[in-house]
Structure 1
Amino acid sequence: MISLQKAYLGMQCFWGAESTFAKLDGVLATRVGYAGGTTATPNYRNIGDHTEITEVQFDERIISYDKILDCFWENHDPTKEKYGKRKLRTYIQKLIQFYQAEDYHQKYWLRCQTAIFEKLNLNDEEVVSSLLATKVNAFLGGYKNFDVLKQLADKYRLDDDVIQLIESIAVKSGDTSACHFVNLIAQSLRGVDLISVCLIRWSERRCGVDWLAREAMRWDDSCGKDGWTVGLS
């Protein structure tokens, strides 16, 4: 049995982030949840001081942790001007616990496509943990490597009408993963070792809600007050 590595990354909103990471070869499972805060038993209505997080399970024989971080940085630029003019504060924090989000958030793009979702006939646990749900969710977020879809179709004996529907949505949708890149956090679990996470926090007024935005980065004092140096642990 393959031993998968895990990485925990946040690119708010986690609906799009989950799909984005699922597009990577070697990522075999994803699930979304909350982490990084102190609020007990967070949920979507009461996230407290937590951040929306995607758990990425990957085969390091196929993809490295660094490549996953490359995807993270490609989909978020912490130096980009934000909506509000708020001060940035830097602090160090370890991810202590991951709280799985409600079922209706897991593989959100897949759940939105009722015809496909019903045809796959997956229970909630399978939606969270299966390769099929993970990769179909990627296609419904704009993934277009249809060789992977053919492999899924052969392995899971998918009907032709389901395959065609997935393809048509993937082609038309483009990449819908770029939704609300506000809350960010990153951490990797390698065995029992926790990698320290350096987070950037800023408050932002968006849609009438104060969001807590976070980013995994190393602050380089040598770059001065007007610059950023992004580093990977």
Structure 2
Amino acid sequence: MATEKAVFGAGCFWGVETRFGEITGVIDTAAGYAGGDLEHPTYKEVCTDRTGHAEVVQVTFDPSRLSYETLLDTFFAMHDPTQVNRQGPDWGSQYRSVIFTNSNEQYAQARAKIAELNASGSYRQQIATQVVPSMTFWKAEEYHQRYLEKRGMVSCHI
């Protein structure tokens, strides 16, 4: 089976990972960090808001069963993409709305989706989501993986 990867930052990665993991066609999810300049960052370091990393979820999916566009739709529905460096009670650049694209096609689709949503008037403000080419994905510490599931929780504040 051929798979693809997609990387999204929509605030705290615990709820984001849970939501993506519920979608048919998603093979795996991993909470982690991307976009910064420190190698092998830790949660404690990322929380200082000085490493440049965002909390992200890497989604491995089967493109024959699930389209990247569906992942984009889910991403935009699960958070407020007009917020800059904030989601709910969480604030700082590590909680920014960001899409790290793994191909030119993903980049074009993400930019087109933002243009479509901005033109639709679905949001009162313009979408602030960053779309950037893929950077190194650093998997978060094990205790962050499937955090809500391990604790018998179905959601957090998102």
**Cα distance in structure 2, aligned partners of 1:103 and 1:26:** 23
**Cα distance in structure 2, aligned partners of 1:91 and 1:54:** 15
Kindly name which structure, 1 or 2, has the bigger radius of gyration based on alpha carbons.
1
The residue that corresponds to 2:17 in the other structure is: 18
The residue that corresponds to 1:109 in the other structure is: 148
1:75 to 2:75 alignment:
no
The SS at the match of 1:25 is coil
Count of aligned residue pairs for this structure pair: 115
The SS at the match of 1:46 is helix
What is the aligned-residue identity percentage? 36
Work out which of the residue numbers 38, 57, 60 in structure 2 matches 1:54: 57
The residue that corresponds to 1:135 in the other structure is: none
The TM-score with structure 1 as length reference comes to: 0.44
Q: Which amino acid aligns with 1:105?
A: H
Task: Give yes or no for contact 2:17–2:29 (8 Å, CA) kept in 1.
Answer: yes
Task: Give yes or no for contact 1:43–1:102 (8 Å, CA) kept in 2.
Answer: yes
Matches within 5 A, 1:1-233: 2-47=1-46, 48-79=51-82, 93-113=132-152, 140-141=153-154, 176-179=155-158
**Cα distance in structure 1, aligned partners of 2:131 and 2:68:** 20
The SS at the match of 1:45 is helix
Q: CA deviation at 1:25?
A: 1.0
Give structure 1 regions of 4+ aligned residues with deviation exceeding 6 angstroms: 81-84, 88-92
**Cα distance in structure 2, aligned partners of 1:20 and 1:92:** 20
Task: Give yes or no for contact 1:14–1:54 (8 Å, CA) kept in 2.
Answer: yes
Task: Give yes or no for contact 2:82–2:129 (8 Å, CA) kept in 1.
Answer: no
- Deviation string, structure 1 residues 81-125 (Cα, Å, up to 9, x no partner): 9789xxx98976432200010000001012214xxxxxxxxxxxx
Q: CA deviation at 1:77?
A: 2.5
The SS at the match of 2:43 is coil
Residues 67, 92 of structure 1: CA spacing in aligned structure 2 closer, same or farther, 3 A cutoff?
Answer: closer
- Deviation string, structure 1 residues 10-57 (Cα, Å, up to 9, x no partner): 111100000000111111111111001112221100012100110101
* Gap regions ≥5 residues in structure 1: 114-139, 142-175, 180-233
* Gap regions ≥5 residues in structure 2: 92-125
Higher relative contact order (CA 8 A, sep 6+): 2
Residues 61, 96 of structure 1: CA spacing in aligned structure 2 closer, same or farther, 3 A cutoff?
Answer: same
Task: Give yes or no for contact 2:35–2:135 (8 Å, CA) kept in 1.
Answer: yes
Residues 72, 92 of structure 1: CA spacing in aligned structure 2 closer, same or farther, 3 A cutoff?
Answer: closer
